Amino acid sequence: MRKSREELARMGSEELKEILRLDSQGVEEYSTEDILYMLDLIVQREKEAGENHVDVEAAWCRFQREYLHREEKTQAPVHTPQVRRWRLPRSLGATAAALALVFVGLFTAHAAGWDIFGGLAKWNDEIFTFESLDTETPMEGESVESTTVSGEPSQQPELLTPEVLEYDTLQEALDACGITEVKAPTWLPEGSQFQTAERICNSDGTLYELYAKYECQGELLVINILPSNQSSAYVEKVEGNADIVDIHGQMIYVIENINNFTMAWETSGYECYLSGSNQQILEQMAASMLN
């Protein structure tokens, strides 16, 4: 039974996801606006759940208490020359401790996914990307305008079928696109089988993606090569840092997901993503692509 927005707002995220799942299967119960509203709710809740509220006041009080406690202990014997000699090192010590805390904070924030020192890639506890993570998420109550669309068929909104060209190897696809910055892997794990290499383009020939797939003992090995001139892909990841390895002088990010790894790197003009379940195999494949 269709629920009102108030009722939807009271429902749990899992129930909303179930409605969305049913909707995606064609059960037409809710309008587009309602679906967007539910998506907004889920996104907002996930965003809010991710915000770990810090009791700044308590931290401040605790710091003051601990700091003042030290001051009280050192202030009493302040008239003796021996204590005076200690005051300078003590203040230096406090400075050093504070700076150490700042650095610990920076490194921990770095470990939590903020590539503060690198500045090349960005990640948080959910996704990795080569672009900024500052993009806005949809907000509740955002206005929706109706649109008058021209009557010409070509002006109607439409779903286009991308032009997909298949090749016998990834290297053939790369050569056909004139891509010299990326090479196909020359090493593959024993028993792996080539599945497909596809060039996916717009109708005017604009390249969207090169995609290659291999199968090794029932596991997928996937290569996605995307032009990096407009946007950057998002890679799902588990909590924690993305590792960085250097292979033949190329900085490669190793991103761990629940049951797989992705190795990501950027050349001039392209983003390369190599995904599979075995990190060692991926590293060897990446090395053969960069050799």
Partner 1 sequence: MKKRCVVLLLMVLCLVSAVGVQGYAVQPRASEQIISYDATLSRNGSGRVHVGFMIQCTAKMDVLGTTSIVVQRFNGTDWVSEYTFNIREYPGMQTQHQDHYSGIVAYSPSNPGSKYRAMVFFYARNSAGSDTAVKTTNSVIV
Q: Which of residues 12-51 bind partner 1 (CB under 8 A)?
A: 17, 20-21, 23-26, 28, 32, 35-36, 39, 42-43, 46, 49-51
| 103 vs 248, beta carbon nearer partner 1 | 103
| Shortest distance in whole angstroms from residue 187 CB to partner 1 | 21
d(CA 137, CA 38): 13
| 4 vs 132, beta carbon nearer partner 1 | 132
| 52 vs 249, beta carbon nearer partner 1 | 52
| Residue numbers 206-235 binding partner 1 by CB under 8 A | 206, 208-209, 211, 213, 220, 222, 224, 226, 230-235
The pair of three-digit structure tokens given for residue 112, joined into one six-digit string: 């939590």
The pair of three-digit structure tokens given for residue 125, joined into one six-digit string: 């506890």
Report the relative pairing of strands 261-267 and 270-276 from DSSP bridges: antiparallel
Per-residue interface string for the shown chain with partner 1, residues 118-157, x marking contact by CB under 8 A? ------xxx--------xxxx---xxxx-xxxx----xxx
| Shortest distance in whole angstroms from residue 101 CB to partner 1 | 5
| 31 vs 80, beta carbon nearer partner 1 | 31
* Residue 27, amino acid: V
182 close to 213: Cβ distance less than 8 angstroms: no
260 binding partner 1? (CB under 8 A): yes
| Residue numbers 58-117 binding partner 1 by CB under 8 A | 59-60, 63-64, 67, 91, 94-95, 98-99, 101-102, 104-106, 108-109, 112-114
Name the DSSP letter for residue 242: P
148 close to 172: Cβ distance less than 8 angstroms: no
Chain-centroid distance of CA 277 in Å reads 18
| Shortest distance in whole angstroms from residue 121 CB to partner 1 | 13
Angle at 73 between CA 67 and CA 78, to 5 degrees: 115
Dihedral of alpha carbons 136, 138, 140, 146, sign = positive
